[in-house]
Structure 1
């Protein structure tokens, strides 16, 4: 079974506004990163994974696959410890992976700079049409998982699930199961595939899309209070210890669960 690496929220050219919003919601964001391929990002890091805000600069080099992707929840990324071995596995599984791509971004360490380096392997959009799906090998993980970035005022601790709408849910479930080296389990209304650190819930939809992401918090007290105090977000408590956070400007739905 493969492990989650990160989930991506595409802000297109609005990353500064999105970063201010997520900071106000109580997330700790890493300093703005500038990838060598022409994209920008902030991370919200937890043990073993992270939530990423990605975008492109208004002017200058713009990463095409980010610029041409949908706003909002747009990327599902698994961890790789060897991009070449992962590529071979994906090819053997019939998932037609692209060749590994190497890139980097400078990291501000508060007084010094270092280059975080990655290798990624993407799988094709026709098999995974909900958004950008790929695996990521971190060559410098210590530049991502740093203690000062892993404590969040809103007590964000991890991920529960990601929702996938598909016009062919059984086929989509088979593809995600192969990607994750896992099994697909049929449930009422769709399929579930388990990866380490997250569940993938696939349902029927008229348009392929990532529909929602489930986040885990030690408590919902801070995130709910912050959300209700902000313009531009909608907070709904759906049950004890469960709330839904919607950000219409990002076409984003986050299902929040408190574990306390």
Structure 2
């Protein structure tokens, strides 16, 4: 089955600072929410996908991973012990149990299905329960990158037009950029997460075409050439998420927010780029 991008997990030390930063970029953020296992988040809801700003808030509640149990909290806690940045890529799901069975049949390293509930605050201030079923899939060659499918059980409470409206006119996630020494070595993994015809080898890199957004995996040399990221020393030697790009209807408006708030950036013809050192460890692009 082909699965569109559901959301990105951006793991940071200070959630309030990060949420304020994204508001300076012209985004609307949801109120802070709390997971039962020791992490907190704020969301940036887009048109059918979202960005999850995440931090470890109560380390004592985080449980260790077990052989068949993936620990969301422990993974992100370990990630933060090394750096800030994008730690996870999530795909949409309408049936997490069926996704898990498909992954098992395809030989992916998977874990027990995980269900949880949390409280969400609506724009009118009411607190309501939202619930999710998650199915994690990992590759031992990518210890700093995790993937999972997310099925929502109360989408009527989750998605709200007030949270999806952004002053910078951003609506969609276009691309997620990963970096690896040998991208083609991971074509089989992505073909199992999606479908074989979703994966396209492009020179030294690869692209994974999903129903909502594209994943691109490129070499470190290509990352330097294409994105001007001259210093990769803060990133791991294993494959990692470098950043992501979004579509905006008004690139000039994005530039105004960046200039007004003195956020360092580069501007090209139809593109604005923030480098990881200026954006909590992740490269952020706006495409007009």
* Counterpart selection for 2:94 from 65, 71, 81: 81
Match of 2:217 among 202, 212, 235: 202
For residue 168 of structure 1, report the CA deviation from its aligned partner: 3.2
Distance apart, 1:246 and its partner CA: 2.5
Q: Report the TM-score, using the length of structure 2 for normalisation.
A: 0.83
Alignment of 1:1-260 (within 5 A): 1-11=2-12, 13-57=13-57, 61-62=61-62, 63-69=73-79, 70-109=83-122, 110-126=124-140, 128-183=142-197, 184-205=199-220, 206-231=237-262, 233-238=263-268, 240-248=269-277, 250-258=280-288
Counterparts of 2:85 and 2:249 in 1: how far apart (Å)? 25
Distance 1:207 1:229 in 2: 37
Distance change in 2, residues 1:124/1:242 (3 Å): same
What TM-score do you get using the length of structure 1 for normalisation?
0.92
Residues 5 and 136 in structure 1, CA contact (< 8 A), matched pair in contact too: yes
Offset of residue 247 of structure 1 = 4.6
Shift of 1:22: 0.6
User: Contact 2:89 / 2:148 at 8 angstroms: preserved in 1?
Assistant: yes
Q: Is the 8 A contact 1:6 1:52 kept in 2?
A: yes
The alignment covers a number of residue pairs equal to 255
Unaligned runs of 5+ in 2: 63-72, 221-236
Q: Structure 1 residues 23, 247: closer, same or farther in 2, change over 3 A?
A: farther
1:58 shift after superposition: 5.8
Unaligned stretches of 5+ residues in structure 1 = none
Judge conservation of contact 1:166–1:172 (CA < 8 Å) in 2: no
Alpha-carbon distance between aligned partners in 2 of 1:199 and 1:129, rounded to the nearest angstrom: 21
Q: Which is richer in strand?
A: 1
Instruction: Give RMSD over aligned pairs.
Output: 1.8
> How much has 1:127 moved relative to structure 2?
5.1
Work out whether residues 220 and 257 of structure 1, in 8 Å CA contact, stay in contact via their aligned partners in 2: yes
Please identify which structure carries the higher helix content: 2
**Residue aligned with 1:85, SS:** helix
What is the deviation of 1:251? Answer: 1.3
